[in-house]
Amino acid sequence: MTRRGAFVVVEGLDRSGKTTQTGILRQRIQEAGKEVFCVKFPVAEVAVDRSTPIGKMIDAYLRSQSDLDDHVVHLLFSANRWELALVLYSRINHTSDFDDRTISDCFIAWFNLQHALIHVTTRLISSTIISSLEQGKIVLCDRYAFSGIAFSVAKSLPSQSSPSTTSQTPGKLPPISLHWARAPDAALPSPDLTLFLDVSPEIALTRGGYGEERYEKADMQKRVRSVFQEIGGEVTADAGQGKWIVVDAGKEMSAVTEEMWGHVQTLLDGINGSIGRLWD
Ligand code: FDM
């Protein structure tokens, strides 16, 4: 059996240097003569000529231009991952059975009817991530389902500055549990390696641009960090979910790069086993 490419995810708190480090890794992988396919979630644009309907909704929410229930936001982020799988699948295969209209209709149906998910799941089997891995490419992903869980669950945790309150939208909906948050991403390809860039909210606060978006508040980031730690523990305990490595992103940028590169280098020659699935 030919070796497949490795699926590497970079996760982290806001301002942990994730996007910069992912860019450097991409360059290093290419310099090492390997093909790399990069993805960033949330995806506002899947291709230069088109922005996705769901990507736009997320963008408006993050910029506080709209308010949505926390559960809805969580599902939008997950839909954004499914959206990429489906749109790129149809492009790569030049299938004519999807156009912009049917793609949006498909996701509206998914929100309304649970069983629509099954169709999307079937499509995913030939998704971009999987086909890239099968072609031996390294897939490098800036945020993935772990961010989805960490940020959504963190919103339901009590605030550390005023423990009796959460940032949950007022109303009767239950808080978002880890169990609930995992469900929409079940069966997506699972990474072989997740590099979690850990930085204290205090250090993040000193970094440029911090505070511009909705979640960039020290209290929220502390809660996100604690959920990420819990997820890391779960991933580590489950052999089928790949490796979870905590990288101290508070140190010198080049030292962070070298540590990350050390882990990625071990995967450049590919992997023998089949591609795992999240939460299987
Ligand atoms: N985010 C990101 C979520 O809340 N859920 C998700 O599923 C994903 C992928 O979006 F605050 C949040 C995390 C972050 C915000 O991400 C924008 P970037 O990486 O800073 O663009």
Determine what percent of the chain is predicted with pLDDT higher than 90.
42
Q: What is the pLDDT of residues 86-108, one digit of tens each?
A: 555 555 555 545 455 455 454 44
pLDDT by residue (tens digit) across 199-209?
A: 998 898 888 77
Test site for ligand 1: of 151, 167, 225, 231, most ligand atoms within 8 A of the Cβ: 151
- Domains (ranges, CATH) in the chain? 7-265 (3.40.50.300)
Ligand 1 and 147: CB distance under 6 A = yes
Average pLDDT over residues 185-192: 86
For residue 212, the CA-to-ligand 1 centroid distance in Å is 13
215 lines ligand 1 (CB under 6 A): yes
Please give the residue that has the higher pLDDT: either 121 or 130: 130
DSSP letter string over the chain?
-PPBPPEEEEEESTTSSHHHHHHHHHHHHHHTT--EEEEESS-SEEETTEE-HHHHHHHHHHTTSS---HHHHHHHHHHHHHHHHHHHHHHHTT-SS--HHHHHHHHHHHHH-TTHHHHHHHHHTT-HHHHHHHTTPEEEEES-HHHHHHHHHHHHSPPSSSTT--SSPSSSPPPPPHHHHHGGGTTSBPPSEEEEEE--HHHHHTSTTTTSSTT-SHHHHHHHHHHHHHHHHHHHH-GGG-EEEEEETTS-HHHHHHHHHHHHHTTTT-BSSPPPBTT-
pLDDT band at 58 (very low <50, low <70, confident <90, very high): confident
> CB of 192 closer than 6 A to ligand 1?
no
Quickly state the pLDDT bin for 116 (edges 50, 70, 90): very low
Q: For residue 122, is pLDDT > 70?
A: no
Q: Identify which has the larger pLDDT, 36 or 115.
A: 36
